[in-house]
């Protein structure tokens, strides 16, 4: 499949291809040279169909993740397996790619570079289902984020064939491409595939919304109000009426909020995509700050960051 694995961290900010020969042989010395100092967690990014690791949004996501935390960020380039025009061959290739990626990640766990308990898999389009397959080849993966999971072939198939809420401890999915361009056929899957689901009406911007939510976790909140996806019209966005147990906030903080299900977010046409009128009131922010000392430390770190371009 011609897989390539790339790595970035705060102490190694330039993307560097992982030396697989060293990882699989004398990997301990290699890990000591390259792993993030804090060993705070690992994130793995998967591109989608007819794409590659050079897609601009991937570099933006890598940067956003490293601004938030001292992580080891890996990007998987499976562009040979994902190449067009044969979409269904690419779908078939995801199973093989997932097996190889899981083997790589198990070696990182063995080398104590990563742990599945703080492993975050992030996939766009076909890459979202690839992340699902990787997780099912591992044990107790912490989190999966699906960005516009692909629909063709997956929509009406069994849960084992696509991203599903049971694939990780927490699964959030951002949908921006579920409206059909042919009758009953769209690029993005419409069936629920996450524990928390985000629905927005702008097409093909899931990765942009997610990155922006990481960059502005407090200055501009992506507050979602409950929405049953079978309803044709989205609800009136009334974030000022949100309670801790009714609404959600897209991005890093969503796992700490109790509300589960599908949520509608109203967005702007350009950065910042979030709308101020959808922000939580101060009572919800106060609640977030009170839940655990670990979260408090994380929120303090987030507040220091105004946006992903800050120093």
**Average of pLDDT values for 73-85?**
96
At residue 65, does pLDDT exceed 80?
A: yes
36 domain residue, yes or no: yes
- Number of independent structural domains in the chain: 1
pLDDT value of position 101: 98
pLDDT value of position 89: 94
139 domain residue, yes or no: yes
Q: Please tell me the distance from the alpha carbon of residue 183 to that of residue 155, in angstroms, as a whole number.
A: 14
- What value does the mean pLDDT of the chain take? 80
Q: Which of 77-91, 169-183, 189-203 ranks highest by mean pLDDT?
A: 77-91
At residue 35, does pLDDT exceed 70?
A: yes
Q: Please tell me the distance from the alpha carbon of residue 130 to that of residue 147, in angstroms, as a whole number.
A: 12
Domain region containing 184: 4-303
**Cβ atoms of residues 197 and 263 within 8 Å:** yes
At residue 299, does pLDDT exceed 60?
A: no
**Cβ atoms of residues 172 and 195 within 8 Å:** yes
**Average of pLDDT values for 214-240?**
70
* Predicted confidence (pLDDT) per residue in 101-147, tens digit: 999 999 999 988 999 999 999 999 899 999 999 999 998 999 999 99
Q: What is the CATH number of the domain that holds 71?
A: 3.40.50.1820
DSSP states of 118-167: GEEEEEETHHHHHHHHHHHTSSS--EEEEES-B-TTTTTS-GGGS--GGG
309 domain residue, yes or no: no
At residue 301, does pLDDT exceed 60?
A: no
pLDDT value of position 152: 65
pLDDT value of position 198: 81
* Predicted confidence (pLDDT) per residue in 37-49, tens digit: 767 799 999 999 9
pLDDT value of position 54: 96
pLDDT value of position 287: 42
277 domain residue, yes or no: yes
Q: Please tell me the distance from the alpha carbon of residue 142 to that of residue 279, in angstroms, as a whole number.
A: 27
Q: Please tell me the distance from the alpha carbon of residue 143 to that of residue 166, in angstroms, as a whole number.
A: 10
pLDDT value of position 153: 65
242 domain residue, yes or no: yes
The residue with tokens 């040979």 is 80
What does pTM read for this prediction? 0.86
244 domain residue, yes or no: yes
Q: What percent of the chain has pLDDT over 90?
A: 40
Q: Which of 244, 235, 246, 226 is nearest to 281 (CA)?
A: 244
The residue with tokens 């959808």 is 278
């Amino acid at each position: 499949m011609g897989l390539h694995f790339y790595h970035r961290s705060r102490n190694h900010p330039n993307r560097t291809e992982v030396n697989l020969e060293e990882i699989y042989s004398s990997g301990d010395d290699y890990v000591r040279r390259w792993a993030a100092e804090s060993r705070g967690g690992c994130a793995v990014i998967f591109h989608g169909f007819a794409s590659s690791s050079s897609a601009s949004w991937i570099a933006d996501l890598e940067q956003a993740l490293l601004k938030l935390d001292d992580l080891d960020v890996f990007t998987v380039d499976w562009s040979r397996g994902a190449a067009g025009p044969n979409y269904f061959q690419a779908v078939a290739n995801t199973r093989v790619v997932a097996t190889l990626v899981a083997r790589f990640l198990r070696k990182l766990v063995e080398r104590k570079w990563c742990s599945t308990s703080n492993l975050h898999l992030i996939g766009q389009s076909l890459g979202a289902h690839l992340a699902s397959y990787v997780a099912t080849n591992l044990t107790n993966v912490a989190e999966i984020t699906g960005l516009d999971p692909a629909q063709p072939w997956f929509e009406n198939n069994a849960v084992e064939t696509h991203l599903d809420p049971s694939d990780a401890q927490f699964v959030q999915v951002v949908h921006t491409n579920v409206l059909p361009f042919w009758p009953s056929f769209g690029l993005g899957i419409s069936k629920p595939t996450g524990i928390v689901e985000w629905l927005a009406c702008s097409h093909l911007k899931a990765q942009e919304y997610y990155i922006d939510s990481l960059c502005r976790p407090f200055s501009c909140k992506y507050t979602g109000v409950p929405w049953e996806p079978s309803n044709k019209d989205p609800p009136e966005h009334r974030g000022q009426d949100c309670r801790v147990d009714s609404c959600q906030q897209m991005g890093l903080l969503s796992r700490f909020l109790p509300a589960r299900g599908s949520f509608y977010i109203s967005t702007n046409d350009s950065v910042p995509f979030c709308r101020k009128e959808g922000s939580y009131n101060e009572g919800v922010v106060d609640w977030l700050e009170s839940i655990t000392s670990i979260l408090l430390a994380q929120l303090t770190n987030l507040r220091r960051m105004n946006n992903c371009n800050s120093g």
